[in-house]
Copies of this chain bind each other. A is one copy, B any other.
Amino acid sequence: MKFGTGIGIVISLVGIAMGATMEGTNVMVVLNVPAILIVLVGTLGASIAACGLAANIRLPKLFIKALMPDELDLVARVEELVGYAERARRDGLLALDEAVKEIQDPFTKKGVQLVVDGTDPDLVAAVLDAENEAMRKRHTAARDPFMQAGALAPTMGIIGTVFGLVNVMNNLNNPSSLGPLIAAAFLATLMGVGSANVVFLPMANRLKELSEEEMHFREMTLEGILAIQAGDNPRVIAEKLMAYVPPSERPSEEEQAARAAAQKQAA
């Protein structure tokens, strides 16, 4: 389900190309070098001016992240945390020291480590909150070039088209060339509006949603770690954390019982 961004861009481009072809236009005219220079290079430059070089160098990585985002399995994380809670209840918080080494996710690892170290609960919350807040700021800064490009590309398209029309106006005494010149001027608008609405803005929105999902995931994790430290009943922790899971993905009661049994056996 997560591969949607790439599929969506392809669907959108195919729809537009088919429609334009049926109208009688050769869609390949869009690959017009002046339009590409004005719109894409102009937008890239303005985006570098707006967000700095570093943020723009990270763009290819973000493209890939938006196309192939990490899967965040809320239910698995709940079960993982409930598992630690059970072990902590049975054998004490220090028993988690061993578990820490196997934890994959750095955020969970840092949290459980702090708990094992006997850090004050308020401080655990403060450190993990600061991690989350800093991640939120990093994500916002990281997707800013896409948002800038989404806003800038159409106006770069207008610049390209107006430049083209200035050219047209200076050739009014050569009427036979007017049509193709005006058509060429419009290509910059197409490139600008198209790149913004099919690529940049959807990408920025997708990255925003992925960031919110990750924040949600981490908030649940933080809640779970604090509950483990407070020594809450694992059943209550499970109840609390399940509130973060969409009802449609929550395991049914039978599934829960089955998993609990399996887990007990494994432990």
Interface check A255, CB cutoff 8 A: no
Q: Are A209 and B144 in contact (CB under 8 A)?
A: yes
CB contact list, A26-67 vs B, under 8 A: 27, 29, 33-54, 56
CA distance A163 to B30 in the complex (A): 9
Q: Are A206 and B52 in contact (CB under 8 A)?
A: yes
Interface check A216, CB cutoff 8 A: yes
Q: Within 8 Å CB of A137, what residues of B?
A: 212, 216
What distance in Å separates the Cβ of A133 from its nearest Cβ neighbour in chain B?
Answer: 8
Interface core residue of A14, A44, A51 (most chain B CB under 10 Å): A51
Interface check A243, CB cutoff 8 A: yes
Q: Within 8 Å CB of A160, what residues of B?
A: 16, 19-20, 23
Q: Within 8 Å CB of A183, what residues of B?
A: 165-166, 169-170
Interface check A164, CB cutoff 8 A: yes
Interface check A263, CB cutoff 8 A: no
A180-B170, A216-B137 given as contacts; is B56 within 8 A of A4 (CB)? yes
A34-B23, A171-B179, A184-B23 given as contacts; is B14 within 8 A of A45 (CB)? yes
Number of interface residues of A (CB under 8 A): 119
Q: Within 8 Å CB of A128, what residues of B?
A: 243
Interface check A211, CB cutoff 8 A: no
Q: Are B9 and A45 in contact (CB under 8 A)?
A: yes
Q: Are B49 and A198 in contact (CB under 8 A)?
A: yes
Which of B169, B189, B202, B245 touches A182 (beta carbons < 8 Å)? B169
Q: Within 8 Å CB of A44, what residues of B?
A: 8, 11-12, 15
A12-B44, A164-B25, A166-B25 given as contacts; is B172 within 8 A of A7 (CB)? no
Interface check A10, CB cutoff 8 A: yes
A182's closest neighbor in chain B, by CB? B169
Interface core residue of A56, A158, A169 (most chain B CB under 10 Å): A169
Q: Within 8 Å CB of A14, what residues of B?
A: 41, 45
CA distance A185 to B182 in the complex (A): 15
Interface check A116, CB cutoff 8 A: no
A119-B236, A202-B46 given as contacts; is B22 within 8 A of A37 (CB)? yes
